[in-house]
């Protein structure tokens, strides 16, 4: 191997596959699509575990579903510059720490970031250069039905989520904000669209796991 080729391979390994930002309102289907990706490519993707100050829901595991922390602790780390993005929703703080992203990148995996519109705009200010994908419901009516079928929301919190979804869907129309907008009215089609835009990065990650 020539020195030039060695250097090119070293630089490629350092850069690695780009992270993936998935955004969209609760109930749009992000979690379902993520589970399919992680199942089909278990050694390729790594899920960035977010921090939150809200209380765990039944069945949620600290460090797996979220890093559940106090408001004081999270604010302290934000002030120290330890977060890529953070936002407040319904009285609780949510955010993605740099350490959470780096933990995934350290394994030569594609880091998946599930963040809201506020986070997307914050992420645009970083040098992480992710692929931005918006997952959207066919309509607000469909979204409301999905949220009600979950039976995990109070009427007040459900209405807040719907209001936030309307705002997010309007903001997502900004030109150049997302690389791809997927309207999830057919799960299989939505998954095919998602895999297609990630194909090149999946190849990179698979190449790094084989080498």
By annotation, the residues acting in catalysis are 57, 150, 161
- Show Cβ contacts of residue 164 under 8 Å, excluding neighbours closer than 6 positions: 25, 89, 116
DSSP one-letter string for 153-201: S-HHHHHHHHHHHHHHHHHTTSTTS-SEEEE-SSHHHHHHHHHHHHHHH
Please, are residues 18 and 83 in contact by the beta-carbon 8 Å criterion? no
DSSP assignments along 16-82, one per residue: -SPPEEEE--TTSSHHHHHHHHHHHTTTTEEEPPPEESSPPPTT--BTTTBEE--HHHHHHHHHTT-
Q: In the numeric block, which tokens belong to residue 18?
A: 């780009």
- The one-character DSSP state at 90 is T
Tally of CB atoms within 10 A around 92: 13
User: Which tokens in the block code for residue 200?
Assistant: 């090149």
Burial class (CB in 10 A: 0-12, 13-18, 19+), 6: exposed
């Amino acid at each position: 191997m020539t020195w030039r080729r060695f250097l090119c391979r070293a630089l490629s390994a350092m850069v690695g596959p780009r992270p993936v930002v998935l955004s969209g309102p609760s109930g749009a289907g992000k979690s379902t699509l993520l589970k399919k990706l992680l199942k089909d490519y278990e050694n390729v993707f790594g899920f960035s575990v977010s921090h939150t100050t809200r209380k765990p829901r039944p069945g949620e595991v600290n460090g797996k579903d979220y890093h559940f922390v106090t408001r004081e602790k999270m604010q302290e780390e934000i002030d120290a510059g330890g977060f890529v993005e953070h936002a407040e929703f319904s009285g609780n703080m949510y955010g993605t720490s740099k350490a959470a992203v780096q933990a995934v990148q350290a394994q030569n995996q594609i880091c998946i970031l599930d963040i809201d519109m506020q986070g997307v705009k914050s992420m645009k200010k970083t040098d992480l250069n992710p692929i931005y994908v918006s997952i959207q419901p066919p309509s607000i009516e469909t979204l409301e039905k999905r949220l009600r079928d979950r039976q995990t929301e109070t009427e007040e919190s459900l209405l807040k989520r719907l209001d936030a979804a309307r705002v997010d869907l309007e903001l997502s129309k900004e030109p150049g904000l997302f690389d791809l907008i997927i309207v999830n009215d057919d799960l299989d089609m939505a998954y095919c669209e998602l895999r297609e835009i990630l194909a090149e990065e999946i190849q990179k990650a698979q190449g790094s796991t084989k080498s």
